[in-house]
Amino acid sequence: MPEGDSIFRAARTLHRALAGKRVTAFDSVVPALTRVHQDAPITGRTIESVSAAGKHVLMSFSGDLLLRTHMRMNGSWHIYRKGERWQRPRRDMRIVVATEDFEAVGFNIPVAEMLKGRPSSGNVLRTLGPDLLSDDFDRDEALRRMRSQRDVEVADVLLDQRVLAGIGNVYKSEVLFMCGINPFVPIRLLDDADLARIVDVSRTTLRQNVTGHLAPMTTFRGMRRTTGRDDPSSRLWIYSRGRLPCRKCGTPISVRAQGRHARLTYWCDTCQPVRQTDT
């Protein structure tokens, strides 16, 4: 699943290509979107902005319409110049938003809805926690929401978008390793300094992965790094390195499924020890 940094980069690229431009063509195989287009055509509207909110891409159109998409595991947005050949088959297309110069194509996007005006109080956007990549990130609110999850294991809390928006399975393991915190410890056993370190490292790490030099018109996810190393084989500390030696101490990296969705968690038993009060 794309994480907050990937979604942020995709939204930024789409904004560069589309913002301020008039929609010349709109197409979708999503029934809810086609109904909106039939009743209130998207064609002719101006794309006002494209932004990210956690793992959601938000495309705003004139006339107070907002297209919300969520990529889940396999979805992606591509941007093509007019006449350029798509890199995915047409059968994977879910949404097309075209302007005079560019064509934004959403492939295999499983969640897409058109919202009128501000999102309703029941909409998923209203339930998101503070967005780690937002300029107005509310650190105190993030800490409050984390502390409220007293009996939940910290790794699962980091995946809860209602607590912190933007972290996925890769950053979950990487951030906790960087903080030296065991992923299975419940929140109630972490002190304020622990929680503050987790939030600060999460925000810093995600921001570092969206501020690099990027091609101006690509929505590709890029090469995520947490170690700061340029070698592609050394870019992550522990994720997807089960049974390989820890880059810091040499202990074999442990891995096991965690949480109700059985997402894989990676950790180092030496660098992230179980505390005496964790048992």
The verdict on whether 3 is a catalytic residue reads yes
* Tens of pLDDT, residues 88-99: 999 999 999 999
A 10 A CB-CB count for 1 gives 16
- CB crowding 3-14: b at 16 or more within 10 Å, else e: bbbbbbbbbbbb
Q: CA 242, CA 222: separation in Å to the nearest integer?
A: 23
Q: CA 184, CA 193: separation in Å to the nearest integer?
A: 18
Q: Which of 9, 55, 94, 225 is catalytic?
A: 55
The verdict on whether 2 is a catalytic residue reads yes
Helix (H) or strand (E) holding 104: strand 102-107
The verdict on whether 55 is a catalytic residue reads yes
122 has pLDDT over 50: no
236 has pLDDT over 90: yes
C-alpha distance from residue 93 to each of 28, 72, 76, 107 (Å): 8, 15, 10, 5
Instruction: Name the least confident of 21-25, 117-121, 201-205, 240-244.
Output: 117-121
Q: Under 8 Å CB-to-CB from 231, ≥6 apart: which residues?
A: none
**What percent of the chain shows pLDDT beyond 70?**
92
- The mean of the pLDDT values for the chain is 91
* Tens of pLDDT, residues 215-227: 444 455 557 899 9
Residue pair 269/254 in contact by the 8 Å Cβ criterion = yes
Q: Which of 145, 197, 247, 263 is catalytic?
A: 263
Res 109: pLDDT:
95
Q: Which of 2, 103, 174, 224 is catalytic?
A: 2
Which amino acid is present at 102?
F
Q: CA 86, CA 79: separation in Å to the nearest integer?
A: 9
**What percent of the chain shows pLDDT beyond 90?**
80
Q: Please give the domain boundaries of the chain with CATH numbers for all domains.
A: 4-127 (3.20.190.10), 139-278 (1.10.8.50)
Pairing of strands 76-81, 111-116: unpaired
**If you average pLDDT over residues 96-125, what whole number do you get?**
85
Res 279: pLDDT:
45
The verdict on whether 263 is a catalytic residue reads yes
Q: CA 198, CA 205: separation in Å to the nearest integer?
A: 10
265 has pLDDT over 80: yes
278 has pLDDT over 90: no
Tokens of 173: 């393991």
Q: CA 170, CA 182: separation in Å to the nearest integer?
A: 15
The partner residues of 49 in beta bridges, in order of sequence, read 60
